[in-house]
Structure 1
Amino acid sequence: MTFPFIHTSVTAGSRNPASSFINTRIESIDVLRGLIMIIMALDHTRDFFHAQAYTDDPLNLDTTTPVMFVTRWITHFCAPTFALLCGTSIYLQGLRKSRSELSLFLLKRGLWLIVAEVLLIAPADTFTLFNPITLVVFWSLGISMVFMAGLTWLPFRAILSIGLAIVLGHNLLDAVEQGSGFTSGFWWALFHGGDHRVLEYAPGRAVVVLYPFLPWLGLMMLGYCLGRLFEPAVSDRKRQQWLVYLGAGAIGLFVVLRWLNGYGDPFSWSVQKDGLTTLFSFLKVHKYPPSLLYMCITVGPGLLGLALLENVHNRVTGVLRTYGRTAFFYYTIHFYVLHTLRMIVFFAAGHTMMEADKSLQIIPMRFVLPGDGGYNLGVVYLIWIAVVASLYPLCRWFDAYKTTHKEQWWLSYL
């Protein structure tokens, strides 16, 4: 058996005449990306509308319910799978661009995503500017792309080796963070130790680091290397075999390391009051920053999904593909729609603007007060479905616009 990750027949920067063949390959990537974008909206809807969204942790084993735990846990698949697929998309871009063109594009798009995080996404949470600045998904993807702008000049094997070293080894830094007297400063918080760290940069102004970039960069690098499987020279059968091998391997690594309880996550699992809660303890892995085990149990099923979805073509996958092809557009708009709806509910419940201003001092979301009479999970699910469905016509229009206006350079940044 040959190893498509190691062969060097095509490198980033070469021109590939079989562009139409590549386009048929990436449909499964768009479908999977669309699926995770829809699931992601469920967690954000819960943040805005669930009664216990800011009074308890949905993964708190002492107070959660099975439905609550699963509702939160399934959304863990979104960010790591998206970061991985971003890396794969970068590799596929490299089949159509020269190395210098790819590097410049990644630098500009990465910086744009960082700006978008601060000027578009953070204000969607608060309806204010710079109060606070939350560094979340777009920030981590953006800074990772900035690094990828330089890393793509390295040999493929070097990128694979560095990516593996980061993903497999970054949890060694847990010992540093758990050391006596350790305090995460600004640069460390950006690098590895976020965990909702609030860093005040002026009186009443703060930066909240939720996504330190190092693990996400490693995951994007491995996604880049995964792009080798989508080269025209790799057969459908071989690609799907390798996706299954890699996905099953990641899940297997999770099971072994988690069972040993020694490395891969800063928090151990333990036997609980019953079997189901013990399973939840086993599955409860650390996201901020994403541990090795977190990435294994989320990316592993994502790789299996890529293998499965490639041969599925129907109306459902067509809808998912539309969301996947307009991910940035959809992600940005859905936040504003959810927050606007929450604002309407807030004032309809009799709250005042003074209370809305006060809520910013408690949590980084305006018009959300802990214990202010939010809804149960059933209503949250209905709101989620309604919002996602309502955005589909808009996403479909934007997808069509991008397809028919490829000459407009700015569309490649959205």
Structure 2
Amino acid sequence: MVSPFRVWQVVLSVCCYALVTRGVENLAVDPGFRTPLSPLVLPSAADLSVHERNDMLNAFESTLLNMFGFSERPKPQGKKRVPEYIMDIYRRHSNGHDGTTMDFNIEGKTTGTANTIKSFHHIEEHFDIDEAIHRHRLVFNLSSIENEEILTAAELRLFRHAIPDHKIRKRHALNESENITDGKVIQRINLYQILKPVARNRDVIKRLIDSIVIDVRNTTWESLDVAPAVKSWTNDANSNYGVEIEIIDRRGSPSRHGDDHLRTRRRIGDDTSLEIHDEDQWFQQRPLLVTYTDDGRTKRSSKKRTKRQKSKKKRRLKENCSKHSLYVDFAIVGWDSWILAPEGYQAYYCQGECPYPMPEHLNSTNHAIVQTIVHSADPSSVPKACCVPTELDTLNMLYLNEKEQIILKNYKDMIVTSCGCR
């Protein structure tokens, strides 16, 4: 069993490796932590008392958590599931992201400079439905959106099953053929922000914020723009009375095709025997409000990525400045209870000599070349140029915050992609 102090040595080494510019042999860490840590990372840890050691570790943990935007380590209860939509975004962005920007670029959506994605399920205790006129009312708790976050987009995602052909034919026999257009069976979904609740069985005061036309023969997710409502709720939490979903036909009347194909509740239609008892299925099909926000951090890496011509005849010598493996395993550190993905990542680090004369492939600045020339002539006058990261990528993280809210976020400058002499 890995001791707590041994585990935190690893965390601290990850936090500090960028600060150590010389003598970092053996800093590379494999997933099993078989490689010893450099004593320079924690030079006198063995000489500390238990109290001093704990104080030091707590201070470093606090620093590391602050880097991720936390005041304390999240402590989630039980197993946490991730909506498939959020996981899909994570996979696509992780596989196709080039690290030059922190923004989420999602095909078919305008999310602006968003670098944070949060998802919310409606509060089931507050769910209300008027089955006679096919209106559904949903309320979401958005308290985990911080004041400094800038909303760039928000959508309400609704899952619906296709209405079987035999039901469509039966309802068309009741003179609903006017809802067929170019072979499509049409319904309209209107989304309203509830501005003020009123007594039961009376219309609420509301405003229309989005409307879409659907073909009831298709099984798919629908997306409606809910940004106007979310903006008003984040400005004034007391104004959050939820949203109302209305399903009508082309004439604006309650649709005879009904609303039981729209998954807003566990029970399917009027048949209680069809109630969803599979928690996983209900979790993945229930309404999902997704917000895209900009947390105010710098969007572009301070390191510009440029293409460099590299000689095919270049020989990479181990002793010269180069990139080395530094794997961070969240499970061994004990953070896998709240970091949902990735399980770990290659942070890498830079190490090696910056010799004179300076080889072209070491990606040196003019200043580093001059410094190296002066050092070679008089070693006591100036130090050698240092092997440091010259290009860094962002890291996608899917995690739970202190309120157990699922968040997908980009963190800049987390992965070394190139090293050079500076």
TM-score for the superposition, normalised by structure 2: 0.21
Question: Which has the larger share of helix?
Answer: 1
> Relative contact order (alpha carbons < 8 A, sep ≥ 6): 1 or 2 greater?
1
TM-score for the superposition, normalised by structure 1: 0.22
